[in-house]
Chain A
Amino acid sequence: QLPTGLYKKVLVILHDSVLPYMNEPTLMMDFLTVAYGVGGAISLLALNGLFILIHQHNLEYPDFYKKLYSLLDPSIYHVKYRARFFHLTDLFLSSSHLPAYLVAAFAKRLARLALTAPPEALLMLIPFLCNLLRRHPACMVLLHRPGGPAAMSEDPYIMEEEEPSESRALESSLWEIQSLQNHYHPEVAKAAAVLNQSLSEMEDDISGLLELSAYELFDKEVKKKAADVPLEFEQIRGLFGKKNDIFAEHFSLD
């Protein structure tokens, strides 16, 4: 009904400047449900108001988790509302009464999507997944499956499946995180390497990582003081003079 820009603006302020002052917040129910069904960023934003209704006003929302599951797509790591979304997701998934298949499906999907994420999102996501697995020890098979088959030809997890219970996430493993151990960013690689060891009991605090921006990360790296600076030992011959230089194949200096 509303133009997208306005929709977003309304949804951003709804939860803390509109809902608390309404006599009948339940009146917003229909609006939020529709917004939640729109998809994309608007769904993400509607989540916040919806949460308040569920939490404080006994709103029953059928297939809430399924909907949330379907909201996960590659763009969640790139949009502006990443921090807000992950904060809420963390809240929703903090219940220890959730079935293991659901949590495993979420973890697997988030990990799969992480293969396209920028480092600042990865730094937040990996502790997030760790927390998830800590809360639900039944999902530890994603990291540690001692008596499993020796080798598989396919990842059993089905990415395209809408229904979390059908996604066969519990039969899979988090190979994506293993791949991220080879990430170019040293912090990400280190964080991913944590999964090789058994997890500690304490949950990580991710509230500080939610708002992490790429520029902050860059700044942190630049300000690090190095004891010594290793140098390239291969003698150079020119701008594109390295051996097997990709540039020499495709670019010219004209």
Chain B
Amino acid sequence: SNPFEVKVNRQKFDILGRKTKNDVGLPGVSRSKAIKKRNQTLLKEYKEREKTNVFKDKRFGEYNTKITPEEKMIRRFTLERQQNYGKKNIYNLNEDEELTHYGQSLAEIEKLNDIVDSDSDTEERGTLSAELTAAHFGGGGGLLRKKVSSEQQDEEEEKPKSRKELLEEMIAKSKQEKQERQTRRESALELTEKLDKDWKEIQTLIARKPPKSERKDKEAEKPKPDEYDMIVRELGFEMKAKPSERMKTEEELAKEEQARLQKLEADRLRRMRGIDEQANKKRASHVSADDLADGFILDKDDRRLLSYKDGKINIGNEEEGEGEEEEEEEGEKEDNENEEESEEESVSEDEEDDDAADSHSDLESDLESEEEAAGNKEENKHETKENESQNVEELDPKREAAKSELPYTFAAPESYETFKSLLTGRTIEQQLTILERIQKCNHPSLAVGNKAKLEKLFGFLLEYIGELATLDSPELRTIDKLVLPLYNLCQMFPEAASDSIKFILRDAAHDLEEAIEVKGRAPFPALDTLIYLKIISLLFPTSDFWHPVVTPAFMYMSQLLTKCRITTLQDVIKGLFICCLFLEYVSLSRRFVPELINFLLGVLHISLPKNQAQGYTVVHPFTPAGKNSELLLVCDKEDLESWEKQNLPLSIVTRLKETSRTELNHIRLSCLALCFDLIKKCAALYESLPSFHEIMHPIKKLLTQHMPVNEYPEKMQEWYHSAVKELENKVKHYTPLIREKKKPVPLKQYTPKIVKVLEFGRKQAGSKKEQERKQLIQRHKRELKGAIREIRKDNQFLARMQLSEIMERDSARKRKVKELLGSLATQEGEWKAMKRKKWKN
């Protein structure tokens, strides 16, 4: 366009790779565009500012985008016709009259016109065309003449021929050609088909006919392939040996497994210390002068001292490393166990793989026999597993007979009732297989909705376990087995699992809180809650500094130990169970649990006779002297004599079967022994705490000064002495507290910060989120600026309009004043002229 209207933004420096949008601007064009737009919108509004009349567009479907324009037209037309129907136009006088010709209506005659035309060739039948006659009868010169004449004719014809006719002609021609082409193609097709048929017939003949001798001859005629050639060919066509992954030796497998476990353990330790990952990252981002910038970061946490023992790598926790020889031995044992486990795991994984494959084949093939075979396989594997682990002996044929009744595919249960009905009345093994099959049939990789189904299954299973635990005689053996599928499901869907467990915990805590608010005290929860708490420790790592499930569980257990009243022997057992849970939870992280110590002290207290001089104070659930003290006191000499340490059966938590005094006393003594053991374990756990002696002081005092040790049977004395020994042989060691030294704040330096530029024209700093935020802020700024500019321009435009209006008005007034003055002047003039005339006269 006009070079005077172009404004070029000159760039001072050319930068490679930068794209600029605003090299060239057309200020005139854009300004006129803007003005035009304002004229259409703002000016209109301005002019109609004090008008309330509205222009309504009532055209049918004008703003309906769903209707196509053609349809719109049609419907408008029909509407118009409908409106006009029945109305008679008074000005059209002969609307109803029909025009006729020879008694026939003219309209009909017009319609028949075409037919008449088509009959026209009958009229011409007798006549011969000029061309024909010329060709046939014109003689030798006829041809020539004809040519000339035809040309002439053409010319003659062309002249009258209108454009329309020409077009029609062309169309007709092209149509004809098209038809011809089609027919040709069809015929060609037919021919090829025919050929094919013939060839087939012949082929069979050829294939059969040639006798052996002939063939041999032919072969003889062919040059015999060279052996070298053959080898070359073979080599050429042979599958190239691809480098595949080498089969791993067992050692390597074990090593890998070890490495995996090590990594997991390192992760666990990191979480236990509660080091935030962000903090880690921050630390990593500090770059020393010696950094090679190769991304290699020595992670301090993952580093472990390697030690060898009997030729095996000895991996132990740091804490274990600190300990004594015993612990080291334990560590070694653990290692062995680890290895065993890893082997087991790998085996089981293989099995799983097999199983998965089996299940697929199940799904694909409908043959029952195959399914059965696969099913049996699974069962067999299962049996072997169980036999290995638990040495459960059962009769094979019987079980197989029972199992053959089980269907092989299960739909995932939609409600808890259906789930329950699936499992009730089955043996443990059957329940396990059912669960396994449900899992396999609804594997998330098979269908979209399966994930949700299995997540639900986890909840159902959990509920089922709870129900089993609340039964009158809790089926703990079943639960023991059901935990395995629960673990597998949890590994698959950690989020859903944690949610459902949290839900249960929240319910339980809510109940507790309600009971405390209403009655002021709360009973210990039933066995199912205890089982849930135990399951949490199986499913989740309890050593984490913070964990979405474990931390609330900690809180809940702490409430149980501090808020729940202890009135019966069962309460004591429940409390001790929770103490065990606490110990298990913190066994790796060695965290301090005050409630645990308090409770153990309380339990010891209630095993003593009343009214003793005390050097300790018991806290909340226990009272120094109340009706429930002496709950664990055993006075009967005979019972003391006959006691033997027994494992407390969990079922007594729900129902105390043993009603005889002796057995009750035995349970009491077992509780006491358990308590001693827990104290011993606590002492081992907390010895590294700086105020270990203060923590254990009350317990120690009670044990050494108030316990009637000599009355206890020998076994009990053993428990007692081991606990006291553990408490006493800890060194007292206090170092005064000194604060961590603050890092000196480095001086600010003015060396330039060097940042790698990855992409030009984009700001680098910050994470992705931060970048996004910055982008948004920038965009907002730009939009705001633009909007302000637009508003300013609008105002300018309006001011201009108002000014021009005022000017117009002013000029109109001036003009009118001038006119008036003019007319007055002429009047005056005329009047004066008149006067003068009179004067003259």
Residues of A near any B CB (own CB < 8 A): 73-75, 77-78, 112, 115-119, 142-146, 148-155, 173-176, 178-180, 182-186, 189-190, 195-198, 214-215, 217-219, 221-222, 224-226, 228-247, 249-254
Contact = CB atoms under 8 A, between A and B. Distances in A.
Contact of A184 (B541, B592, B597, B651): B592
Contacts of B544: 230
A182 B562 contact: no
B734 interface: yes
A142 B734 CA distance: 13
Given A221-B551, A222-B505, A229-B540, A249 B677 contact: yes
B691 A175 contact: yes
A155 B734 contact: yes
B484 interface: yes
B491 interface: yes
Classify the secondary structure of A's interface with B.
Answer: loop
Nearest to B345: A235
A237 B344 CA distance: 11
Contacts of B498: 226, 229
A23 B172 CA distance: 124
Contact of A155 (B555, B585, B677, B694): B694
Contacts of B267: 230
Nearest to A239: B480
24 contacts: A115-B691, A118-B558, A143-B737, A144-B738, A144-B739, A152-B735, A173-B737, A179-B689, A179-B691, A182-B591, A198-B742, A214-B563, A222-B509, A224-B548, A233-B264, A236-B484, A236-B487, A246-B584, A247-B584, A250-B580, A250-B648, A250-B677, A252-B647, A253-B649
A253 B559 contact: no
A45 B211 CA distance: 123
A239 B577 CA distance: 14
Nearest to A119: B558
Contacts of B558: 118-119, 185, 214
Contacts of A198: 739, 742
A201 to B, nearest CB: 15
Contacts of A253: 476-477, 480, 649-650
Given A148-B736, A230-B547, A176 B691 contact: yes
A231 B694 contact: no
Given A176-B691, A182-B590, A229-B497, A242 B538 contact: yes
A241 B535 CA distance: 11
Given A78-B562, A250-B648, A115 B737 contact: no
A49 B280 CA distance: 53
B585 A184 contact: yes
B617 A73 contact: yes
B702 interface: no
Given A198-B739, A250-B674, A218 B556 contact: yes
Contacts of A151: 733-735
Contact of A143 (B341, B506, B739): B739
B736 to A, nearest CB: 4
Nearest to B267: A230
Given A214-B559, A218-B509, A251-B650, A235 B341 contact: yes
A226 B498 CA distance: 10
Given A145-B738, A214-B562, A219-B506, 6 more contacts: A146-B738, A175-B734, A179-B690, A237-B484, A242-B584, A246-B681
B694 A112 contact: yes
Name, among B264, B334, B531, B586, the residue most crowded by chain A CB atoms within 10 Å (CB to CB).
B264
B458 to A, nearest CB: 13
Contact of B647 (A116, A197, A225, A251): A251
Interface string B350-393: 00000000000000000000000000000000000000011000
A221 B552 contact: yes
Given A75-B617, A246-B580, A252-B648, A115 B694 contact: yes
A159 B159 CA distance: 133
Contacts of B547: 226, 229-230
Nearest to A197: B740
Contacts, number: 248
B481 interface: yes
Interface residues of B, number: 104
Contacts of A247: 534, 577, 580, 584
Contact of A186 (B481, B546, B620, B670): B546
Given A197-B739, A239-B476, A229 B549 contact: yes
Contact of B559 (A77, A182, A215, A244): A215
B734 A115 contact: no
Contacts of B271: 230
Contacts of B691: 115, 155, 175-176, 178-179
Identify which of A149, A178, A184, A245 gathers the most chain B CB atoms within 10 Å of its CB: A184
Contacts of A243: 334, 337
Interface in B71-116: none
A145 B677 contact: no
Contacts of B674: 250
B455 interface: no
A214 B555 CA distance: 8
B583 interface: yes
B664 interface: no
B231 to A, nearest CB: 54
B483 A235 contact: no
Nearest to B490: A231
Nearest to A227: B548
A104 to B, nearest CB: 13
B591 A184 contact: yes
B695 interface: yes
A180 B690 CA distance: 10
B732 interface: yes
A177 B674 CA distance: 30
A151 B185 CA distance: 109
Interface string B510-541: 00110000000000000000010011011111
Among the interface residues A112, A117, A185, A229, which one has the most CB atoms of the partner chain B within 10 A? A229
A87 B649 CA distance: 47
Contacts of B513: 215
Contact of A116 (B534, B597, B734, B739): B597
B694 A218 contact: no
B734 A153 contact: yes
Given A78-B562, A229-B540, A236-B484, A145 B736 contact: yes
Given A116-B594, A247-B584, A218 B559 contact: yes
A251 B739 contact: no
Contacts of B490: 231
Pick the 7 closest A-B CB pairs, nearest first: A226-B548, A148-B736, A254-B649, A252-B647, A184-B591, A229-B494, A175-B690
Contacts of B344: 235
A142 to B, nearest CB: 7
A140 B494 CA distance: 46
B648 A251 contact: yes
A178 B555 CA distance: 21
Contacts of B620: 75, 78
Nearest to A199: B739
